[in-house]
């Protein structure tokens, strides 16, 4: 088969949708097309500079000659190196060398733990997956997936610090024992917002022992709703029963968890979550989103209104008024006519679904919005048993806030303070809270944390905290199911202490801090404490305890219902609203570092932001029109051209963003800006959590005083926006004046144009509402396969017959043929799959410098498209469409035909396999891949530290991988690839193989059971694994169950088989004839036919030219 | 060479003094090396040197060929690793344990049919017997040290020298093989008769593929997988099976009956 070059035709004139990824593409210059047509960005395949490139061949030969000569001296190395097998001295129970063990645990976090199953190899936890026994939630998010890396992080704190200098744990123990023995000590304990029954129980005992002790809860981005409706009362959403959902700046599918999110996505699939029903628009839910900038939830919305953050309250008030309550909110700012019409139609829809509709509010919005939303929800009868919202009473009661702590420290009511919070108050507390001065007044301040962050340095003592995979605890999910946190491994570093161990030690008469394991193998005091709590809940039987450890949760446990008793009245809350301004800034929660706590996690840092597609930094997003008005748009990145010298601005490694100076309340910060589409005009969207420390390598030469606060991953990343945040304006604020361009430019690693595909109808979208041109829902469903090129291309015809002369199918493996289907209707683009894949397949991070060149190694590329209807002139109703693309395992794979060494070939079961050890790195395959799904190891990212500037270019002289433990996270069943090797998704072939071997083993047990293995016959049915019994890493991690995977030979018994049989199912670039095994399922929007913007919804089919 | 070709064609070389190759020196002709010393150059290389380059080339080629052939033949797993027999920290004799004591492979390698990795026994496994048997043998001193709570080596693993090793990029699964009728013996040889274990087979990729293409040559009844003394002919003599006359018939029958289709694509072992 010769290489076929496809000339994608121009977009037909009557196409109403304009789609793009970034500014450059929207402008659509010829240079941009040239960019698209390369499989790697320019520069990706070149030497560091042009001089290198000139001499590279010669120097290569020189080097080769020298090394061949040297090889002569090294003949001794030809002797076989002696390696050893080290068996256990005493075999631990359940551990089988070479076989993974799985334990249930959970990841504690504010607003509900994530139940997990941890994969461990010989005691090393390597991979986290969701606990499928748990009824609440499928999948995990990217933070949970990446949390395993923190256990082995080279930036992890390993030893005790005193006054910022390394100290001995024994010295700390002595100080601690002194505190614990003094019943009069005024101790303050600061926790996170996660709920732990054992902590709550121990706190009561501590209160008994230390009468003047106090407990607080603090997490930087938990917002104002905490405690608003009563001490420990929280609202939990149940999406199962929610037909109509209004999200008021609430990214519930992303960073703003309000309840298990899987049921929401179940109802985005018109055929039901198992794809076993006839497509029914009525079974779908409808999501209205009111927000400032696109969130991943907003991207899913059927109707989306973009408003300034200060306007969210006005919209909420207008909605309340439209629902009939015009008296509760006095003096609400009036909404404009367009908004009023939008809200009025929305109110009708909500009223029509009374009892099955709800309003969810972003947790960080001001109290006034929460109070108004509570009134709306009461009117909609949304709260209560069996209703979409429940008010629950958590055990996190009696906890003070950060302001209380500061007041108590200042007044001397608290003299000794211990921080267990995952946040970093010395860095992320509101700037006017006075945290630093208050902390300085404490006699003893002890920070327990995984990183030596700003708070660790500000406290007198820092003690490394055990990771949650190293310690005992318990916690509760969003609905209050009691779940266990059990250790997989003893703390890697002897100094580590866990929260419950410290609390137990406070209660110990001697104040002895026992961490990890008790003396002579006695159980950890934390475990004893947890068990005691559990026994009070479920009895003292060993069986119950064992069941808890096995299942990970206590079946049937949940929070008690609470009544809402607001602690603030609405009028006061309204006066406390931050002042609106001409330009407003939103302090957003970041998708990679959250509030800054994940800044040293390489996987999260490298995962591109779902909206801006920027890795390793935060950028201020600004709407295009506002940018034009402010004079920040005119210089759109000029793209490099083939002939001209590479210009300073551009894509790839030359992408530079302008730095602007912005001022809020007199405080100035400088930050890079980028155009944000679909964002409200007059707003600046700034993610928090970056800029924690810089060193001498910083591009902007910033102050290096905080260098010690971050590790190698987080240093020199992004801009710190926390100084602009105040107690009164923690979520948004009015900008002083206008952003000023500083003429400084800053390199940005943005992946939005890397490995970008082109072609027609890549992501397809339809609507449940009748359209003049496209017909009704049934017609649109039937038309999915005919969108784009497929409308006028003849069907693909294979020259090869699929059956032999006897009519038997020509399959080399008649037992398994793997396939996948990805439902765009449920994909929100949250990156969970991308990080899960990285954890499962030993994918390295490459660092900002390499990533900017387009050398990222992620096997899953999360494409994010914007689409605008031509009629929608102002771009008020843009659509954001995420589409994950990994290798689609073509049956007629273009990559295979061009590999000169047959390193990529087909397997019997239909995978497009990659033999890394055979690959010689010609990259022809990547060149020929229409999906651009292949990744090349330009350097030995696993052996050379990519985070040190220019380190990779030093080759063997460079610094090797840092830290003592990163290799421990590796999956032993996947090769660690080296330099010069191509790699890509292979459907987690190691998991498939494991499943097949398990099935064969089962057959063997049966055969031997008959007593005569010779008499046993096996057939395909017996050798086939059970239907849908194997899950690939991305599928497992997906919280929306958008990915179905299975055996094509199972037919429609398999969820994947049913998905592929849907009308919505289509093949990506079908007209090329590659016959991909991964197919996509078109996105369905379920708009309200009466809404003014309905004509713009459900048409975001993406064409890339 | 240049000079000999400069001789007028057809004129025989008579030996001795060359006929003068007269050149007209004109003032306009610039003297060059060849026209100043024509005869000297002609005598510089004897005639046999004409074929010297060919001879050198042939020598070099055959030398290179020889090196390649020797390398191909000797520098392969077949010659480099077969027979590798390192000394072990404890001179453990498989022969004594299997032939005399009668242990099954799986007493020590207990997870071979469960996991991909065939485990080497823990010190505890050895100690089960050796706390009672051969209590004073000096050979077992390393084991006793590791089980003696007062000894500095207590609890440390015994460092067995690895003999059978596949490269890092090869995924080999023991369970997949022994559960489908491939015996330990097919890859490890008659370990039951080894006083000191050595590598019996070369474990090269070609060797793997030989069997993956023709598994019938190695398949045996599941009951006989761990019986290293299994003799197919004896087995057939004792158990008459319909339609099976030769050992190969037996293999074919098992392959057919159990649907043994070993994969030969790359991803079978490399991922």
Q: Give the residue from A692, A719, A747 where a domain finishes.
A: A747
Give the span between the Cα atoms of A655 and A218, in whole angstroms: 38
Give the CATH number, domain containing residue A953.
3.30.70.20
Q: Provide block-wise average pLDDT over 10 residues at a time, chain A (1105 residues).
A: 53 77 69 55 48 49 52 49 88 87 93 93 92 86 93 91 92 93 92 94 93 93 88 92 94 92 94 92 94 94 93 92 85 80 93 94 93 94 92 92 94 94 94 92 94 94 94 93 93 93 93 87 90 92 94 92 90 90 94 93 93 92 90 58 43 78 92 91 94 91 91 92 92 92 88 82 92 89 88 79 78 89 94 94 91 91 91 88 94 93 91 92 92 92 84 83 76 91 94 92 83 85 92 94 94 94 93 92 94 90 84
Same domain? A384 vs A484: no
Q: Taking the mean position of all CA atoms in its chain, how far away is CA A213?
A: 37
For A1014, the closest of B80, B167, B221 (CB atoms) is B221
CA-wise closest residue to B187 among B195, B153, A543, B176: B176
pLDDT class of B109 with cuts at 50, 70, 90 = very high
Q: What is the pLDDT of residue B127?
A: 92
> Is residue A286 one of the residues assigned to a domain?
yes
- Give a yes or no: residue A827 inside a domain: yes
Which range, of A646-655, A969-978, B49-58, B81-90, averages the lowest pLDDT?
A646-655
Residues A693 and A642 grouped into a single domain:
yes
Question: Which residue in B has a C-alpha nearest to residue A999's C-alpha?
Answer: B176
Q: Supply the CATH number for residue A734's domain.
A: 2.40.40.20
pLDDT at A29: 59
Tell me whether residue A411 is in a domain: yes
The C-alpha of B58 sits at a distance from chain A's nearest C-alpha, in angstroms, of 24
Best probe of the B interface among A80, A818, A914, A993, by most B CBs < 10 A, is A993
Residues A282 and A345 in one domain: yes
Domain that includes residue A369, residue range: 237-393
Assess if residue A72 is contained within a domain.
Answer: no
My answer on whether A388 and A401 are in the same domain is no
Chain B positions in Cβ-Cβ contact with residue A80 (cut-off 8 Å): 80-81, 84
Q: Pairing relation of β-strands A656-664 and A667-675?
A: antiparallel
ipTM of the complex: 0.83
A623-630 long-range contacts, CB within 8 A, separation 24+:
A623/A675, A623/A676, A623/A677, A623/A679, A623/A680, A623/A681, A623/A682, A623/A683, A624/A23, A624/A675, A624/A677, A624/A875, A625/A681, A625/A874, A625/A875, A626/A583, A626/A681, A626/A682, A626/A683, A627/A673, A627/A675, A630/A738, A630/A739
Q: Is the pLDDT assigned to residue B104 strictly greater than 80?
A: yes
End-to-end CA distance of chain A: 26
Which residue has 């493996």 as its token pair? A813
The predicted pLDDT at position A57 comes to 52
Do A87 and B162 count as a contact with CB atoms less than 8 A apart?
no
Q: Are residues A373 and A421 in the same domain?
A: no
pLDDT confidence of residue A860: 95
My answer on whether A421 and A377 are in the same domain is: no
Report which of A994, A1030, A1071, A1076 is spatially closest to residue A821, judged by C-alpha positions: A1076
Same domain, A722 and A773: no
| Whether residue A849 sits in one domain with residue A832 | yes
**In B, which residues are within 8 Å of A989 by CB distance?**
267, 271
Cα–Cα distance between A818 and A255 in angstroms, integer?
33
Asked if B259 lies within 8 A of A1007 by C-beta distance, the reply is: no
Nearest to B157 among A89, A99, A993 (CB): A89
Same domain flag for A522 and A477:
yes
Q: What is the pLDDT of residue A709?
A: 92
Q: How many domains does chain A contain in total?
A: 4
Backbone phi, then psi, for A867, in 5-degree steps?
Answer: -135, 140
- Same domain? A738 vs A674: yes
CB contacts under 8 A, A 784-813 vs B, are 813
Rounded to whole angstroms, the Cα distance separating A1026 from A1003 reads 13
Window A:918-937, CB contacts with B under 8 Å: 918
Q: Do B267 and A986 touch (CB under 8 A)?
A: yes
Nearest CB neighbour to B161, from listed A84, A913, A917: A84
Domain match, A1090 and A953 both: yes
- Mean per-residue pLDDT of chain B: 84
> Under an 8 A CB cutoff, do A908 and B265 touch?
yes
pLDDT digits (tens, 9 = 90+) for B201-232: 989 999 999 999 999 999 999 889 999 999 88
Alpha carbon A727 to chain centroid distance?
Answer: 28
Residue A174 resides in a domain:
yes
Q: Which of A84, A1000, A1020 sits opposite B162 (nearest CB)?
A: A84
Residue A1060 lies in a domain: yes
The secondary structure of residue B99, as a DSSP letter, is I
The domain that holds A244 is classified in CATH as: 3.40.228
Domain for residue A1080, yes or no? Answer: yes
Count of A-B CB contacts under 8 Å: 159
* pLDDT given at position A50: 46
Among the partner-chain residues A815, A917, A1017, the one whose CB lies closest to the CB of B270 is A917
Q: Map residue A118 onto helix, strand or coil.
A: strand
Q: How far apart are CA B196 and CA A516, in angstroms?
A: 42
Are residues A841 and A952 both part of a single domain?
yes
Q: Which contiguous run of DSSP H or E holds residue A668?
A: strand A667-675
- The closest of A1063, A601, A591, A1067 to A829, measured between CA atoms, is A591
What is the C-alpha to C-alpha distance for residues A442 and A419, in angstroms, rounded to an integer?
12
> Coil, strand, or helix at residue A1050?
helix
Residue B33 has pLDDT above 70, yes or no: no
Output the pLDDT for position B25. Answer: 47
CA–CA separation, A48 and A59 (whole Å): 14
Laid out side by side, the sheet with A620-622 consists of: A732-734, A584-588, A683-687, A620-622, A667-675, A656-664, A736-747
């Amino acid at each position: 088969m010769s290489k076929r070059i496809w000339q994608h035709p121009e977009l037909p004139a009557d196409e109403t949708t304009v789609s793009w990824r970034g500014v450059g593409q929207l402008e659509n210059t010829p240079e941009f097309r040239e960019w698209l047509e390369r499989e790697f960005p320019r520069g990706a395949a070149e030497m560091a500079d042009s001089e290198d490139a000139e001499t590279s061949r010669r120097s290569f030969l020189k080097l080769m000659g020298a090394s061949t000569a040297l090889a002569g001296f090294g003949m001794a190395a030809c002797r076989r190196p002696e390696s050893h097998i080290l068996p256990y001295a005493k075999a631990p129970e359940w551990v089988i060398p070479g076989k993974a063990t799985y334990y249930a645990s959970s990841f504690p976090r504010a607003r509900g733990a994530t139940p997990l199953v941890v994969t461990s190899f010989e005691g090393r936890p390597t991979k986290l997956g969701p606990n499928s026994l748990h009824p609440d939630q499928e999948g995990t998010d990217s933070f949970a997936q990446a949390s395993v890396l923190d256990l082995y992080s080279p930036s992890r704190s390993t030893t005790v610090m005193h006054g910022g200098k390394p100290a001995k744990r024994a010295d700390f123990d002595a100080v601690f024992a002194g505190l614990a023995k003094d019943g009069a000590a005024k101790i303050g304990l600061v926790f996170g917002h996660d709920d732990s029954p054992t902590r709550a129980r121990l706190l009561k005992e501590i209160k008994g022992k230390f009468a003047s002790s106090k407990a607080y809860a603090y997490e930087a981005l938990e917002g104002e709703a905490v405690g608003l409706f009563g001490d420990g009362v929280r609202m939990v959403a149940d999406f199962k029963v929610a037909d109509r959902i209004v999200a008021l700046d609430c990214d519930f599918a992303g960073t703003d968890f309000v309840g298990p999110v899987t049921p929401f996505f179940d109802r985005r699939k018109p055929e039901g979550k198992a794809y076993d029903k006839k497509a029914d628009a009525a079974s779908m839910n409808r999501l209205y989103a009111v927000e400032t900038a696109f969130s991943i939830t907003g991207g899913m919305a059927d109707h989306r209104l973009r408003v300034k953050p200060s306007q969210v309250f006005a919209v909420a008030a207008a909605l309340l008024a439209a629902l009939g309550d015009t008296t509760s909110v006095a003096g609400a700012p009036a909404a404009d006519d367009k908004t009023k019409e939008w809200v009025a139609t929305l109110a009708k829809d909500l009223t029509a679904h009374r009892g099955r509709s709800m309003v969810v509010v972003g947790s960080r919005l001001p109290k006034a919005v929460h109070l108004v939303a509570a009134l709306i929800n009461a009117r909609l009868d949304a709260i209560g048993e069996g209703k979409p919202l429940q008010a629950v009473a958590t055990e996190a009661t009696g906890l003070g806030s950060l302001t209380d702590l500061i007041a108590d420290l200042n007044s001397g009511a608290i003299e000794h303070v211990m921080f267990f919070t995952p946040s970093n108050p010395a860095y992320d507390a509101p700037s006017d809270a006075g945290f630093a001065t208050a902390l300085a007044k404490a006699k003893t301040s002890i920070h327990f944390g995984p990183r030596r962050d700003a708070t660790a340095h500000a406290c007198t003592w820092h003690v490394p905290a055990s990771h949650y995979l190293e310690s005992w605890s318990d916690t509760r999910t969003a609905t209050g199911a009691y779940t266990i946190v059990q250790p997989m491994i003893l703390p890697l570093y002897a100094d580590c202490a866990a929260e419950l161990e410290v609390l137990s030690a406070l209660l110990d008469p001697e104040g002895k801090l026992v961490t990890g394991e008790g003396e002579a193998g006695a159980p950890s005091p934390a475990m004893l404490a947890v068990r005691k709590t559990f026994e009070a809940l479920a009895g003292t039987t060993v069986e119950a305890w064992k069941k808890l450890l096995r299942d990970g949760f206590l079946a049937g446990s949940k929070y008690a219902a609470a009544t809402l008793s607001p602690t603030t009245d609405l009028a006061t809350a309204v006066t406390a609203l931050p002042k609106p301004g001409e330009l407003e800034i939103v302090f957003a929660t970041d998708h990679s570092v959250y509030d800054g706590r994940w800044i040293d996690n390489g996987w999260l840092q490298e995962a591109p932001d779902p909206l801006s597609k920027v890795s390793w930094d935060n950028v201020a997003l600004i709407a295009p029109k506002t940018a034009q008005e402010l004079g920040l748009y005119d210089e759109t990145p000029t793209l490099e051209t083939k002939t001209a010298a590479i210009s300073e601005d551009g894509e790839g490694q030359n992408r530079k963003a302008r730095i602007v100076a912005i001022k809020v309340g007199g405080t100035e910060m400088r930050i890079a800006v980028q155009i944000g589409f679909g964002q409200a005009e007059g707003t600046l969207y700034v993610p928090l959590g970056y800029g924690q420390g810089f060193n001498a390598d910083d591009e902007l030469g910033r102050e290096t005083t905080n260098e010690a606060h971050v590790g190698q991953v987080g240093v020199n990343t992004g801009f710190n926006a926390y100084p602009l945040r105040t107690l009164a304006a923690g979520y948004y604020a009015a900008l002083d004046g206008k952003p000023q361009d500083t003429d400084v430019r800053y390199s940005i690693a943005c992946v939005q144009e890397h490995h970008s595909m082109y072609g027609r109808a890549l992501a397809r979208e339809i609507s449940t509402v009748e359209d003049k041109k496209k017909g009704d829902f049934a017609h649109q469903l039937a038309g999915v396969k005919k969108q784009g090129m497929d409308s006028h291309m003849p069907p693909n015809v294979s020259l090869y017959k699929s059956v032999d002369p006897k009519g038997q199918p020509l399959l080399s493996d008649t037992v398994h043929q793997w396939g996948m289907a990805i439902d765009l209707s449920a994909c929100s683009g949250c990156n969970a799959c991308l990080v899960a894949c990285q954890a499962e397949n030993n994918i390295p991070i490459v660092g900002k410098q390499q990533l900017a060149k387009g050398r990222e190694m992620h096997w899953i590329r999360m494409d994010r498209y914007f689409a605008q209807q031509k009629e929608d002139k102002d771009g008020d109703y843009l659509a954001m469409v995420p589409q994950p693309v990994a290798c689609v395992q073509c049956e007629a794979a273009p990559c295979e035909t061009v590999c000169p060494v047959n390193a990529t070939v087909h397997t019997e079961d239909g995978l497009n396999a990659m033999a890394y050890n055979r690959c010689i790195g010609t990259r022809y395959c990547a060149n020929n891949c229409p999906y651009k799904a292949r990744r090349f190891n330009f350097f030995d990212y696993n052996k050379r530290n990519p985070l040190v500037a220019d380190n990779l270019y030093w080759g063997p002289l460079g610094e090797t991988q840092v830290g003592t433990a990163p290799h421990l996270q590796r999956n032993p069943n996947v090769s660690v690839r080296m330099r010069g090797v191509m790699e890509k998704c292979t459907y987690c072939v190691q998991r498939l193989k494991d499943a097949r071997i398990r099935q064969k083993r089962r057959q063997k047990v049966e055969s031997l059971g008959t007593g005569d293995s010779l008499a046993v016959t096996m057939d395909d049915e017996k050798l086939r694994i059970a239907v849908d019994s194997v899950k690939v890493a991305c599928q497992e991690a997906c919280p929306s169950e958008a990915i179905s995977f299975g055996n094509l030979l199972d037919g429609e018994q398999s969820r994947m088989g049913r998905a592929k049989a849907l009308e919505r199912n289509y093949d990506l670039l079908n007209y090329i004839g590659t016959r991909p095994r991964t197919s996509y399922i078109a996105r369905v929007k379920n708009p309200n036919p009466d809404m003014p913007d309905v004509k713009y919804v459900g048409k975001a089919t993406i064409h890339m030219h | 060479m240049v000079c000999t070709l400069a001789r007028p064609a057809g004129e025989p070389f008579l030996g001795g003094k060359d006929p003068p190759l007269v050149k007209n020196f004109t003032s306009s002709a610039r003297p060059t090396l060849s026209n100043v010393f024509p005869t000297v150059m002609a005598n510089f290389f004897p005639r046999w040197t004409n074929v010297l380059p060919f001879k050198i080339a042939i020598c070099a080629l055959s030398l290179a060929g020889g090196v390649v052939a020797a390398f191909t033949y000797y520098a392969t797993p077949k010659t480099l690793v077969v027979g590798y027999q390192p000394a072990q920290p404890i001179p453990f004799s498989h022969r004594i344990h299997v032939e005399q004591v009668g242990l099954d492979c799986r007493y020590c390698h207990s997870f071979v049919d469960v996991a991909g990795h065939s485990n080497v026994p823990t010190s505890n496994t050895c100690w089960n017997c050796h706390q009672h048997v051969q209590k004073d043998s000096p050979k077992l001193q390393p084991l006793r040290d590791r089980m003696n709570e007062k000894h500095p080596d207590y609890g440390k693993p015994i460092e067995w020298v690895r003999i059978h090793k596949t490269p890092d990029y090869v995924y080999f699964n023991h369970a997949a093989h022994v559960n489908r009728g491939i015996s330990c013996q097919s890859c490890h040889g008659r370990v039951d008769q080894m006083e000191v274990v050595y590598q019996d087979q070369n474990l090269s990729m070609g060797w793997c593929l030989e069997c993956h293409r023709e598994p019938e040559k190695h398949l045996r009844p599941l009951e006989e997988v761990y019986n290293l003394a299994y003799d197919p002919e004896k087995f057939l003599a004792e158990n008459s099976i319909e339609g099976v006359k030769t050992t190969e018939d037996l293999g074919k029958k098992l392959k057919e009956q159990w649907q043994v289709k070993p994969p030969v694509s790359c991803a079978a072992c490399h991922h």
